Amino acid sequence: MQSVVNVIASQGDAGNEAKEELGRLLNSIASFSDGRNYLLVNNQGKQLIATLAAGLKTKKLHHSAGEQALATLQKLSIRSSVQKELVQLGMLEWLSIYLGGKPSPAALDYGCALLLNLCLHPFGRSAASRAATIFMATIATLMADLKLPRCLTSFYAITEPHRSKSKYKFVH
């Protein structure tokens, strides 16, 4: 499995079609519970997560291959151990910047869903509070581009603890 991931994350534009198809394969496998079990078995799972995250963060994965990697990570992030790993790899901060750019509609959907999953983990909530300024800038960008309804649930879940604390501070 690791050789498949290495092909997807390899540098250069050569073999983009193969990268996209292999990305679809990983995404399809991650769609099922048994597939997630297979992808995350032993140390292979950490390597897969790290390679896909690095490929996205370094922009080695273009277009459909990047979307498929993002979708795969979103599906794997249902698991708490994956959430923790992705937060430690800095994906929460990367997502907050990435979503403020011009992602495709599919990447926006998977990115918002991944962001929400990461914020479900205590480490994710802590990281989100440290990156609150970036999140607010991302929300402003999405509002300006009229894309906010697509991600509103994610951002509401992320900012709710902060709003509750603010209300508490003002009341007491």
Please report, in tens digits, the pLDDT of each residue of the chain (172 residues total).
Answer: 556 666 666 666 666 788 888 889 999 999 999 999 999 987 788 999 999 999 899 887 777 888 999 999 999 999 999 999 999 999 998 998 898 888 888 898 899 899 889 988 888 888 888 888 887 788 777 777 665 555 665 556 555 654 444 433 333 3
Whether 172 is in a domain gets the answer no
Q: Is the same domain home to 5 and 51? A: yes
The residue range of the domain holding 68 is: 1-76
Of 48, 76, 104, which residue sits at a domain end?
A: 76
Name the pTM for this structure. Answer: 0.80
Q: Is the same domain home to 40 and 99? A: no
> Using CB atoms within 10 A of its CB, is residue 160 exposed (0-12), middle (13-18) or buried (19+)?
exposed
Which DSSP string do the residues of 143-168 spell out, in sequence order?
HHTT-HHHHHHHHHHHHHHHHHHHHH
Residue in 81, 83, 20 with CA at minimum distance from that of residue 55: 20
Q: Is the same domain home to 3 and 52? A: yes
Whether 170 is in a domain gets the answer no
Q: Is the same domain home to 58 and 101? A: no
Task: Tell me which residue has tokens 């073999």.
Answer: 15
Domain count, the chain: 2
Q: Is the same domain home to 72 and 86? A: no
